[in-house]
Amino acid sequence: MPLPIVRLRPKAEARAIRHGFPWIYADELVTDRRTQKLPPGALAVLEDADRRPLALVTVNTASRIIGRVLDRNPEAVLDQPWIEARLARALQLRERLFDKPFYRLIHAEADGLPGVIIDRFGDAAVIQPNAAWADAHLDLIVAALVQVTGVKTVVMNGSGRARSLEGLAEETRVLIGEIDAPVPVSMNGATYLADLTGGQKTGLFYDQRPNHAFAAGLARDARVLDVFSHVGGFALAALAGGAASALAVDASASALALAEGGAKAGGVADRFSTRRGDAFDTLEALAEEGARFDLVICDPPAFAPAKPALEAGLRAYERIARLAAPLVAPGGYLVLCSCSHAADLASFRNASARGIGRGGRRAQLLHTGFAGADHPMLPQLAESGYLKSLFFRLDG
């Protein structure tokens, strides 16, 4: 049966689609009765207002992103070989970048599988099917993944804001194989324990790998404070880089327990400690205690995940910088991170600088870090380049 046809409105920018933009917003598509009846994740051929075919797309009328481009060839067929080709291309890049199979394998639109995240942990993989089409075709994606990579265990992590925006239910389950313990992952000389079924997101944040490494280069003989530490991200890398000590702060007891396990596995437990609590409250308490550190890192969750939250999010980033700056010893370093899509680099940098100033400190910006190469950007989609890490040196 031929696929249904959906059409751009006359004022919609067809040229953007032709030039590689992967999304069609709800106000750009003709949503007649026939289109409204398409089930979430349905496949269709996209035409411009003049009825010229543009692409193979997937449609979800329940989402603000009503259409996602799967293939710029309108005659493409979404089947297992099609998915395998995308996975094989992604795998080729990761195998060139890394000598061990621990990385982000699929970074959504940038790797040609819109709304799909796949992180690999050796013989296991975690899939986040964050778009309706991926949820509907999950069996095909899993079969292709096993065929291309040979993984033995596949976990579906169906949690998070992206799925709710697609109208999808939250669900996490093991699809193939079994997993009964955290997976040890070696990065930057440190060992991390990733909980693939109960941890945040896929269990580990691979995106910060190059920023962990840069911070570790600043950490030799340093007293380190890692706030929003999760499973010990910056702290364990710093200890592997020769830090004198590292304190990890997080609100999650389970995350801190994994961090402690990673410290033990990496042989650095004697220099590692944890403190459970709200990050803002803990920063204030440390200041009252007169604590000082040579390297302070704050890597919070997305304070501005969407434009409506932007102003409040920037105020939160400014507050973090204001509270963290006084804890840095003279000549020490402050690392501030943002994974907010809505906060661009300039806005985040300005908020951070204001906070440092309000904290009574002056700073040099030494380095700006982004996500690792296993998190490629789609040049036409600014949202695919979400991570920013600012490295400051503070004077007296």
Instruction: Identify the weakest region by mean pLDDT among 189-198, 253-262, 380-389.
Output: 380-389
- Closest of 215, 214, 230 to residue 182, by C-alpha: 230
- Rounded to whole angstroms, the Cα distance separating 175 from 135 reads 13
**Which segments of the chain belong to CATH 3.40.50.150?**
189-394
- In this predicted structure, the answer to whether residue 306 has a pLDDT above a threshold of 90 is no
Give the pLDDT band (50/70/90) at residue 102.
very high
**Which segments of the chain belong to CATH 2.30.130.10?**
5-71
CATH of domain 5-71: 2.30.130.10
Tell me what the pLDDT averaged over the chain comes to.
Answer: 96
For residue 382, what pLDDT is reported? Answer: 85
The answer to whether residues 325 and 366 touch, using CB atoms and an 8 Å cutoff, is: no
Give the pLDDT band (50/70/90) at residue 80.
very high
Calculate mean pLDDT across residues 212-241: 98
Calculate mean pLDDT across residues 70-74: 96
Let me know if 244 is exposed, middle or buried by CB neighbors in 10 A (0-12, 13-18, 19+): middle
Calculate mean pLDDT across residues 192-196: 96
Calculate mean pLDDT across residues 145-165: 94
- In this predicted structure, the answer to whether residue 36 has a pLDDT above a threshold of 90 is yes
The domain defined by 189-394 carries CATH number 3.40.50.150: yes
For residue 160, what pLDDT is reported? Answer: 84
Read off the DSSP letter of residue 59.
E
The predicted model scores a pTM of 0.95
Give the pLDDT band (50/70/90) at residue 384.
confident
Tell the residue number behind the tokens 């410290």, with chain if given: 263
Let me know if 134 is exposed, middle or buried by CB neighbors in 10 A (0-12, 13-18, 19+): buried
The domain defined by 80-176 carries CATH number 3.30.2020.30: no
For residue 28, what pLDDT is reported? Answer: 95
**Which segments of the chain belong to CATH 3.30.750.80?**
80-176
pLDDT more than 70, % of the chain:
100
Q: Which residues are annotated as catalytic?
A: 339
Calculate mean pLDDT across residues 95-99: 97
Instruction: Identify the weakest region by mean pLDDT among 194-203, 240-249, 385-394.
Output: 194-203
